[in-house]
Structure 1
Amino acid sequence: MKLYSKVVLLITLLLGIALSAIVGGFFYTIETKSIVNEFQSDVDTQVAAIEKEITLSFEALYTIKGLFDSSQEVTEDEFKHLAADILVRHPNIQALEWIPRIYNNNRSEYESRYQYRHPEFEIIERGPDGGMIRAKERDEYFPVCFVEPFISNEAAFGFDLASNPKRLEALIESRDTGKLVATASINLVQDISSQKGFLAFLPVYHEFPTTIEKRYSQLFGFALAVFKVEDLINSSLLHTSMQGINLTLVDETSLSHENIYSFNISKSNNEGPAIHYQRELKPVGGRVWSISASPSNSYILDRRTSNPLMVFLLGLVFVSFSVAYIYLLLRRSVSIENAVTERTQELNDTKKELERISLQDGLTGVANRRHFDSYLEQEWARSTRDNQPISLIMIDIDQFKLFNDNYGHLSGDRCLKSVAQILDTTIHRPTDLVARYGGEEFAIILPNTDNVYILAELCRKSVESLLIPHASSNVADHITVSVGFCTLLPEHDTPSDTLIQMADNALYKAKKSGRNTTCTLQTQ
């Protein structure tokens, strides 16, 4: 074996191995994209569940507000009865509270009123050492006067929310906007754990104020819901779909973009590039929360398959057999090579001869362009001799390139076959010829015919009746055609190209008229 042949075999082997690796890597990339899409879908589903849970929980505040809107004087028992019923349906709410607005000059009166049932009640605030002390004097207070459940929330009873900057900021925003407002993450007065919480305020007014000034003067108090972030999120976690996914809930509204919740299964994946996905939730009481998620190793590995490796190995096997086969072929004698060359030449000559005599389009089964040209010349000469009219219909599939781009070439081929078949069945006379003129264009030769419009329009409607979907078309949501036709009475000095040119101009006119229409340049 010559050195040249050995070099060719070595290059073929190396290229085959490289191609197998590329194809295997391509399948690996596709699989990775599929895993990422599934991961993002799982996170989106979880975000939707969290948003739903938050929305349902916030509805409880509107129920409390409705109680105070409908009654001039709500008793503690009425509040407790309604709140207890709500908490049964929303166990993720830590507490429901009523926060009245109390002016400093009415402080003693309110404290005396509540001490009737709760002798220890007074308006309090957190002291420098973290303990509770009697609230300092200020123009107005917003203490917790009703709380349900009372047990486990005793520490919040009487606490003045205006004494804390975060709580006061949310109170003022809720008061001035009239909307439900959530605080930034805080340490709850009644919670000794390190779990972060937040409060949601909904203002209650004496009337229906429409301006900031009126809202300030007519403020009655606030319906308040207390949430522990972890309890709220955990109650909405879809643990089946979230296996292997690490979640971090971030408060984007805060300057530091504070992490207020983490759900960590394990370390993030270290297989290839890190995969992260961040998705904002719908506004939570005026705050913007986002979910930052990453899959764990187990999540990735559970969805990995052996397909990329199998593709690579199959490629190596194929390359090995191919190189071995080529090696055997190269060892054949020169006489066999010559025989193959001669046989190949004979096959090529036969193929050319078959192509020469073939008159049928291989894809659609109708006449091909060669047949069209010869038949047009034949019928043009006959019409000239017999002084008879001859007509030509040109048909073009509207925006067929977009169809191919959207549905693929196999669908495009099926479309061409269907159009050709319906056109062929529409023409009934044996002397008429349907041909594929080129690409997505068809032509129909109609000897001894001068009234063509009805037939041309029938062809257009027949194709449209196929209802082949074409979502990319701006003409219709299915396949349509533009039709142009022309009728001539041939003269001895007029070439047949004149008929083609006029029919083509009519087709161009149909396209310019918006497509899916029939136009003519009629000449007798």
Structure 2
Amino acid sequence: MLKFLQPFVTQLVIFCIGLFLSFIVSNRVYKFEKETDFLRFSESVTELGEELIRETEINIQALYTLELLFSNHAPSEEFFKREAEIITTRHEDILSLIWAPLVNEEDRTSFEEKLKQKGNGQTIVKRNNDNTFSLQDQQTQYLPVLYSESSKKGTTVFGFDLYSDISVMDALTRAKETNSIQATKPIPLYMHTDSETGYVVSYPVYRDNAASLNNTQTELLGFVLATFKMDDIVNHEIHPYHSSALHFRLVDITDILNPTLLYDSKNENQIDEFNSHLYFNYSLPEHAGRRWQLQAMSIDETFGRNPPKRQNGLHCGLESLPPSL
């Protein structure tokens, strides 16, 4: 009887061993494919993040151009508008360029007279909690918006005291202390009447810029600022990747305990880190004093195997930048 069953037992053992080996091989192949998918996905997200930070850096470098043009003197309105229009035409993601002079309390009356003559408001104003504007209280110094070149005409709140906005004030203080371009966290852009969410970058202008670079005390004339709507910048870079299977978020993680959302692609499938097949966070290099993180989620296992073709150079046109940039 045993001899009769022996061939069947042998075949059963061989079958089980084969089944076991097949399971091990298929499991390893599956893990390898998952690791390969994740690697391709992370590489694509990293490439996207690098393009995003490069695009942003190119845009904010425009402030250095304005600062050099204003070197050692406050700009006239005609000069500012001419140069700012050139820059905003070239850098289409810039929502507005602003000149805000430093005004001492004893000079407030003469400054407000200048506003009246320009027809751009009559007083230095602050923002109230209900998003209305009212006369700014007496202060030692003010930083009111005087000139603005914006892609959205007629939206600038002239006379708005930037020192009255805590988030902008923080960036201005850092810019002055480091003599470098500094950005705010995501904030409502109250210097514009529609108050869209974006961020502001600023750079100080001194009476003697050479002295300021050497940490020598010199007179601060004011700040040149640029405002950006985050959606405008990110959408240009993310558009080639747009898919119902993908979801992107850009988060300001400068304050790691209180991260702030900069951008959300609002995927219609409600993809998040809990229901996605692929999930990867890419922390962008620090820029303008801020740290951002690009979060990418996908329910498409093949994402990254055939990445979208991207044109050489960014949409603003690297070849069109002046040598100084």
Kept in 1: contact 2:95–2:151 (CA 8 A): no
TM-superposed CA distance for 1:240, in Å, is 3.0
Q: Paired residue for 2:24?
A: 22
The 5 A counterparts of 1:176-215 are 176-189=177-190, 190=192, 192=194, 195-207=196-208, 208-209=211-212, 214=217
TM-superposed CA distance for 1:119, in Å, is 5.7
Distance 2:276 2:134 in 1: 54
**Which has the larger helix fraction?**
1
Q: What SS does structure 1 have at the residue aligned with 2:301?
A: helix
Distance 2:272 2:20 in 1: 28
Distance 1:284 1:153 in 2: 30
Q: Paired residue for 2:231?
A: 230
Q: What SS does structure 1 have at the residue aligned with 2:64?
A: helix
Distance 2:275 2:162 in 1: 50
Q: What are the Cα deviations for residues 35-54 of structure 1, in whole angstroms up to 9, with x where unaligned?
A: 11111111011111101111
Kept in 2: contact 1:196–1:229 (CA 8 A): yes
Q: Paired residue for 1:4?
A: 6
TM-superposed CA distance for 1:93, in Å, is 0.7
Q: What are the Cα deviations for residues 346-381 of structure 1, in whole angstroms up to 9, with x where unaligned?
A: xxxxxxxxxxxxxxxxxxxxxxxxxxxxxxxxxxxx
Higher relative contact order (CA 8 A, sep 6+): 2
Distance 2:20 2:242 in 1: 38
TM-superposed CA distance for 1:202, in Å, is 0.6
Distance 1:174 1:270 in 2: 36
The 5 A counterparts of 1:494-505 are none
Equivalent residue in structure 1 for 2:293, among 290, 294, 304: 290
Distance 1:38 1:148 in 2: 42
Distance 2:105 2:86 in 1: 34
Kept in 1: contact 2:205–2:222 (CA 8 A): yes
Aligned CA distance change for structure 1 residues 212 and 164 (closer, same or farther; 3 Å): farther
Q: Paired residue for 1:43?
A: 45
The 5 A counterparts of 1:71-470 are 72-118=73-119, 120-149=121-150, 151-152=152-153, 154-189=155-190, 190=192, 192=194, 195-207=196-208, 208-209=211-212, 214=217, 218-237=219-238, 239-241=239-241, 243=243, 244-254=245-255, 255-265=257-267, 266-268=269-271, 275-295=278-298, 297=299, 299-300=300-301
Unpaired stretches in structure 2, ≥5 consecutive residues = 306-325
TM-superposed CA distance for 1:267, in Å, is 4.0
Counterpart code for 1:45? E
How many residues align? The count is 297
The 5 A counterparts of 1:45-60 are 45-60=47-62
Kept in 2: contact 1:269–1:300 (CA 8 A): no
Distance 1:279 1:39 in 2: 11
Distance 1:235 1:276 in 2: 22
Kept in 1: contact 2:121–2:159 (CA 8 A): no
Distance 1:94 1:276 in 2: 32
Q: Paired residue for 2:311?
A: none
Kept in 1: contact 2:185–2:260 (CA 8 A): no
Q: What SS does structure 2 have at the residue aligned with 1:125?
A: strand
Q: What SS does structure 2 have at the residue aligned with 1:290?
A: strand
The 5 A counterparts of 1:483-502 are none
Aligned CA distance change for structure 1 residues 120 and 191 (closer, same or farther; 3 Å): closer
Counterpart code for 1:82? E
Moved more, 256-265 or 198-207: 256-265
Kept in 1: contact 2:148–2:156 (CA 8 A): no
Distance 2:69 2:177 in 1: 21
Counterpart code for 1:277? F
Distance 1:291 1:303 in 2: 16
After the TM superposition, list the runs of 4 or more consecutive aligned residues in structure 1 that deviate by more than 6 angstroms.
Answer: 269-273
Q: What SS does structure 2 have at the residue aligned with 1:8?
A: helix
Kept in 2: contact 1:269–1:275 (CA 8 A): no
TM-superposed CA distance for 1:268, in Å, is 3.7
Aligned CA distance change for structure 1 residues 175 and 272 (closer, same or farther; 3 Å): closer
TM-superposed CA distance for 1:235, in Å, is 2.4
TM-score (norm 2): 0.83
TM-superposed CA distance for 1:151, in Å, is 4.8
Counterpart code for 1:129? D
Kept in 2: contact 1:246–1:294 (CA 8 A): yes
Q: What SS does structure 1 have at the residue aligned with 2:87?
A: helix
Aligned CA distance change for structure 1 residues 203 and 73 (closer, same or farther; 3 Å): closer
Unpaired stretches in structure 1, ≥5 consecutive residues = 305-524
Distance 1:236 1:27 in 2: 34
Kept in 2: contact 1:57–1:93 (CA 8 A): yes
Distance 1:151 1:278 in 2: 34
TM-superposed CA distance for 1:155, in Å, is 4.1
Kept in 2: contact 1:277–1:292 (CA 8 A): yes
TM-score (norm 1): 0.53
Distance 2:18 2:151 in 1: 76
Distance 2:114 2:297 in 1: 54
Kept in 1: contact 2:278–2:301 (CA 8 A): no
Distance 1:273 1:147 in 2: 44
Aligned CA distance change for structure 1 residues 5 and 151 (closer, same or farther; 3 Å): closer
